[in-house]
A and B are shown apart, each in its own frame.
Chain A
Amino acid sequence: MAATKGSKEQKYDRQLRLWGDHGQEALENAHVCLINATATGTEILKNLVLPGIGAFTIVDGHTVAGEDVGNNLTLSGVLALQNRAQAATELLQELNSDVSGNFVEESPDKLLDNDPEFFHRFTIVIGVQLPESTCLRLGSVLWSASVPYLVCKTYGLIGYMRLVVQEHTVIESHPDNALEDLRLDQPFDEFKNHINSYDLTSMEKKDHSHTPWIIIVAKYLDRWLNEHDGQPPKNYKEKESFRQMIREGILKNLNGVPEDEENFDEAIKNVNTALNPTKIPSAVEDLFSSEQCNNITAQSPSFWVMLRAVKEFVHSEGSGNLPVRGTIPDMIADSQKFINLQNIYREKALQDAAAVTKHVENLLQSVGKVSHMSKLCKNAAFLRVVCCRSLAEEYHVDSVNKDEITSCMDSPDSEMVFYLMLRSVDRFHQLHSRYPGVYNYQVEEDISKLKLCVNSLLQEYNLNVNIKDDYIHEFCRYGAAEPHTVSAFLGGSAAQEAIKIISHQFVPFNNTFIYNAMSQTSATYQL
C-alpha cells in the first residue's frame, strides 16, 4: 500500500522542514537492525518507523512475558504467548505502512556463532539490553565491517547509549547561531566594486535610510583604514570610536536632530560581529591536516576528495580563505539594494564552488564524485567528522580512558558514577548469570556481592576512584528494571542519533551518553 508522493509529503511535512527531501530519501533507503524488542528497543524503533525508515529487522530470541506487557506500549495489547520479535514487528509495522518490517526469531549470540555476516547488510545496528559479552562480540564484527553500532541500555532510572562508528562525515551539520561570512575585512573584487558604487554623501534620504548596513559598515571601514594606517578597529575603545563615526553619519533634519535611520542603528549594532576577521575555523583546519585529507587515493570516500579540493582552493584562488558561503542575513534595505547585494555574494559563492570543482576534477579524473560540491562549499566552515573509539579500545586495560574517568569522579556524584555502576552490574551478570536484586529477597545480600564487582572493576583498570555505597545500594534496588518512561527517553534520544547516522545531517554524540532520570540530568563522555 505505497503512499503517493503527495500524501507522503503531507505526512512527513513537519520533518522535511528539518532534513529536507534528500534527508528523507536517505531514511527511506535505510535498513535498521534492532536487537531485543524490549521497552527500550520498541520505543527506539517506533521513533524510526514513524518518520519512515525504509526497513527494519528485529532480532530477538525471547517470548513475550508478563513484565513486557507492563512496561512496553507496543506489546501491551498482546494476549497470547508469542515470540517477542514477531509480536513487536507486527505491532510496529502497523504504525506506518511505508515501512517494511522483518524479524529473526533468534538470539544474537546464535547469529554471531553461525552467520556473523548477517549483520553486514544493515545501515545501522542498534543493540538493546545486551549482556557484555554479546555486546562486545557484536561490536567487533560490526567494527570490522564498518557498520555503525549503537548500544542502548535502560537500567532502573539510568539510561545509557554508546555510539560506535569509525568515521562519520557530516556536510550538513546545521549549526545553531553560525557566524555570517561577510568578508568585510577582506572584500573580494566584486564586493569592493559594489561598495564603491555607493556614495553615502550624495544620497537622498530615502536611499540613505534604506542602504544595507553591510554597505554602511564597509564604507566607514574604508574611511577608518585610511585614517589609521590600514589598521582596523581592534579593542573596545577603537570599536566604540568606529561606532561613533557611523553614528555621526546619520542624517540630521533642519534642526540638527538625527533622523530615524534604522539601517544605521543596525550597522552600529552589528559592528562587533562585522569586524570579526574572516578565518578558517580550527575544526576545519584540523580536517585539512588530517591523514585522510592529505593522502587521496582512488579509494578515498568522496567527502575527503571534496575536502582536499577545498584545501587546494584555499591555497590558491581562495587566498587563504574558504569558498564564500553566499548568504547574508535579512536587514533594513529597499528590495533592490538588498537583492543586488545578496547577488554579489551569491555569484561569488557560485564562482568559488566552480573553482573547487575544478580541483576535484584534477584530483581524480572522474566527474562522478562532484554531486555535492555546492552543498559542501556552502557548509565549508561547518564540516564535521566524528570518529568513535571501538568498544575494544574502551574496554582494554591498556587503552581505557583513565583520565576522563578519574577526573569526572573528582565529583563523586557526576554521571560518570553510573557508567561505572553499569560496568559493575555487567560484571555481576558475568559472574552470577543474573543481575543483582531482581527478586526482593536478593536485594540485601547482593549489595555486598555487587560491591565486590565494583572493586574488582576499579582494581582491574587501576582506577583510583571512590564509589559511594548509596549507588551500589541503588543499583541493587533497581533489580535490572526497565521502567517505561526511562526507556521512552532513550527511545527518542537513540532514534535521533540513528537518524543522524543514516542521513549524515546534524552531529552525532561521541561516544557515551548517560541519562539520569532521578535528577533529569545527562552527560556525554568520550571513552
Chain B
Amino acid sequence: MAEMDEPMIVDGVCGGSCEWEGRWNHVKKFLERSGPFTHPDFEPSAEALSGFRNIDVVDMDTIDVSNLNRQFLFRSKDVGRPKADVAADFINNRIPGCRVVPHFKKIQDLDETFYRQFHIIVCGLDSIVARRWMNGMLLSLLVYEDGEVDQTSVIPLVDGGTEGFKGNARVILPGLTACVDCTLELYPPQINFPMCTIATMPRLPEHCVEYVRILQWPKEMPFGDGVALDGDDPEHIQWVFQRSLERSAEFNITGVTYRLTQGVVKRIIPAVASTNAVIAAACATEVFKLATSAYVPLSNYMVFNDVDGLYTYTFEAERKENCSACSQIPQDLRFTPSSTLQEVLNYLTGSASLQMKSPAVTATVEGKSKTLYLQSVASIEQRTRPNLSKSLRELGLTDGQELAVADVTTPQTMLFRLCFTS
C-alpha cells in the first residue's frame, strides 16, 4: 500500500542517508521519457517518482519456520514474531529512505478512515473471504454523483494469489471494473468429504485423518477438556497421525504419513519461492503503472502456470450486471411467504454468486429493527434459533421489504429486497 504525497527526488538529497549516484537510473527512463506505449495521460517529468517511500503493511500472522522456504524478508531468528513488524524492519533497514509502517492486525480490524488514506492497495491474502472483505471495503469508500462514480474516490486494488505452480494477478478499479464478487464463480467452493464417508466408509488416507480430526478428537479430548486441535503443535499432529494409522489399518488403507496428516489437518497448500516471485513481480509492476501512469495497467486479470513450460493467459474479466457487491442494484430474494427463514439462509450460503459464510439477518418489522437470526454471538443465536423454522409470513415480513444481511464476506451490511412469489 503506497502513498505518494511527496514529489520524488531522483538524484541527490534524501533524508541525510548515503545516496548513491545514479541510484534511479533504471527507473528514470520510464518516468522522464515519452514513448509510444505509455498511458494517454502520462506526462514525462524530471521530478517524478523514484521509489515508493511510504508503505503500510497489514498482517495478522506470526512467522513460522515453514515460511522460510519462500518468505525472504524473514530469517530463522524471526520465527514467532509478527510478520508485519519483521517485514517493516527489514525493508526500512535495507532500502534507504523507505518508510514502512507495520500493523500486526487482521485487515478487518481496521476501518475506512485507515484505508481511505492510501493511493493503492496491494493484497497477497490467503482466502477468498478476506479478498471479498477488502473488495467490499474499497467499494464502500466510493462516492457517487448522479449515479456516476467520482473517480477521486476510487482506490485501485492489485490482488495476487498462488497455489503451487499456479498463480494469478489482477487489477481492480472499484466501481469501474470487475470486482472480486463479479468473478466469484471463477473460484469453485471448497469441497469437504461427505460425513458418511468419513464416519463409516473411508477409502483414502485423507478420510482416516478427517475421522480423527472431526470425530475422534472431540470425543477423546486427548490434551485436556476444551483443548482444540492445534495444527501447529507437533504433539497434536503426532497424536492424530497415530490414530489415523490405526483407523487406516482397520480398513486396509495405505498411505497415511505424518506429512499427509499435517497437510489434511492444516489444509496445507504447497508453495515455492518461484511462483510467489512471479506473481508478486507482476503485482508490483501494476502498482508502478498505476502510480506513475507510465503505462496502461493490466486489463485486468492474468493467470500463470509453469507446470509444463510457462503459460500465461491474460483477459478482461467483465463486470457482473447484478453483482451483489458492486452493481448498486438491490438484490432480490424470491421466496414464498410460507418459506422458512432457514431456506433463506441456505440460499445466502449456497448460491454461487453470494457464497456467504454465516449471514446475520435483520429486518424492520412494525417499525422496529428486529434481528431475525445471528450466529456469531451465542446468546443471540440461542434466542433467534427458533426463527429458523418459522415461515417468513409468521415472522411478520411483507412483500417488498428490505432485509439487511451482515456477513464476514463483506464489511458493509448488504441490503436485499424480499419478493414474495406464489
Contact = CB atoms under 8 A, between A and B. Distances in A.
A175 B281 contact: no
A66 interface: yes
A470 B263 CA distance: 51
A65 B22 contact: yes
Contact of B165 (A13, A157, A496): A496
B94 interface: yes
A473 B38 CA distance: 12
B386 interface: no
Contacts of A437: 29
B268 to A, nearest CB: 7
A111 B275 CA distance: 33
Interface string B272-312: 11111111111011101000000110100010011111101
Contact of B273 (A77, A443, A495): A495
A507 B307 CA distance: 7
Interface in A500-527: 506-510, 513, 515, 517-522, 524
A440 B35 CA distance: 13
Contact of B284 (A46, A336, A488, A496): A488
Given A485-B284, A520-B285, A335 B278 contact: no
B32 A176 contact: no
23 contacts: A14-B271, A15-B69, A47-B277, A50-B70, A66-B23, A70-B23, A70-B26, A73-B94, A156-B29, A173-B308, A331-B203, A335-B203, A338-B203, A478-B29, A481-B30, A489-B277, A491-B277, A493-B274, A495-B273, A507-B307, A507-B309, A513-B310, A522-B312
Interface in A9-68: 10-18, 39, 43, 46-47, 50-52, 65-67
Contacts of B275: 492, 496
B45 to A, nearest CB: 13
Interface in B150-177: 164-165, 169
A252 to B, nearest CB: 22
B285 A333 contact: no
A44 B17 CA distance: 29
Contacts of A491: 277, 281
Interface string B306-331: 11111010100000000000000000
B252 to A, nearest CB: 5
A145 to B, nearest CB: 25
A347 interface: no
Interface string A155-196: 011000000000000000111100000000000000000000
Contact of A10 (B24, B66, B272): B66
A67 B22 CA distance: 5
Nearest to B253: A339
Contacts of A487: 281
B114 interface: no
B357 interface: no
B95 interface: yes
B259 interface: yes
A7 B69 CA distance: 12
A333 B65 contact: no
Contacts of A216: none
A521 B33 contact: no
Closest 4 CB pairs of A and B: A492-B277, A66-B22, A66-B20, A488-B281
Contact of A71 (B26, B201, B253, B280): B26
A496 B165 CA distance: 9
Contact of B282 (A79, A210, A489, A524): A489
Nearest to B17: A79
Interface string B79-110: 00000000000000111100000000000000
Interface residues of A, number: 87
B345 interface: no
B60 to A, nearest CB: 19
B375 interface: no
B122 to A, nearest CB: 12
A513 B304 CA distance: 14
Contacts of A478: 29
Contact of A335 (B36, B251, B281): B251
A98 to B, nearest CB: 10
Interface centre among B25, B68, B252, B312 (most CB of A within 10 A): B25
A486 interface: yes
Given A15-B272, A495-B274, A510-B309, A479 B22 contact: no
A485 B294 CA distance: 14
B26 A335 contact: no
Interface of A: 7, 10-18, 39, 43, 46-47, 50-52, 65-67, 69-71, 73, 76-77, 79, 94-96, 156-157, 173-176, 210, 330-336, 338-339, 342, 437, 440, 443, 470-471, 473-474, 477-479, 481-489, 491-493, 495-497, 499, 506-510, 513, 515, 517-522, 524
A335 B93 CA distance: 58
B51 interface: yes
B270 interface: yes
Nearest to A12: B69
Contacts of B270: 14-15, 17-18
Nearest to B288: A485
A13 B68 CA distance: 10
Contacts of A71: 26-27
Nearest to B275: A492
A499 to B, nearest CB: 7
Contacts of A510: 309
Nearest to A341: B203
A484 B263 CA distance: 35
A527 to B, nearest CB: 14
Interface string B225-237: 0000000000000
Nearest to B34: A477
A48 B42 CA distance: 37
A477 B70 contact: no
Contacts of B24: 67, 70
Interface string B166-201: 000100000000000000000000000000010011
B411 interface: no
A159 to B, nearest CB: 9
Given A14-B268, A339-B251, A488-B280, A521 B314 contact: yes
Contact of B309 (A338, A479, A483, A524): A524
A427 to B, nearest CB: 21
Nearest to B171: A520
A496 B304 CA distance: 13
A385 B130 CA distance: 42
Interface string B250-263: 01110000010011
Given A17-B263, A496-B275, A10 B65 contact: yes
A506 B282 contact: no
Given A52-B69, A67-B20, A499-B274, 4 more contacts: A50-B68, A483-B27, A485-B282, A492-B280
A457 B312 CA distance: 29
A488 B160 CA distance: 15
Given A95-B72, A495-B274, A506 B288 contact: no
B295 to A, nearest CB: 5
A509 B307 CA distance: 10
A489 B285 contact: yes
A357 B94 CA distance: 56
Contacts of B18: 79
Nearest to B202: A335
Given A17-B268, A473-B35, A481-B25, A492 B30 contact: no
Given A18-B165, A76-B95, A339-B253, A522 B310 contact: yes
B277 A495 contact: yes
Nearest to B66: A13
Contacts of A17: 259, 263, 268, 270
Given A18-B272, A46-B273, A486 B253 contact: no
Contacts of B251: 335-336, 339
Interface centre among B21, B69, B284 (most CB of A within 10 A): B69
Given A491-B281, A524-B309, A51 B22 contact: no
Contact of B30 (A13, A483, A509): A483
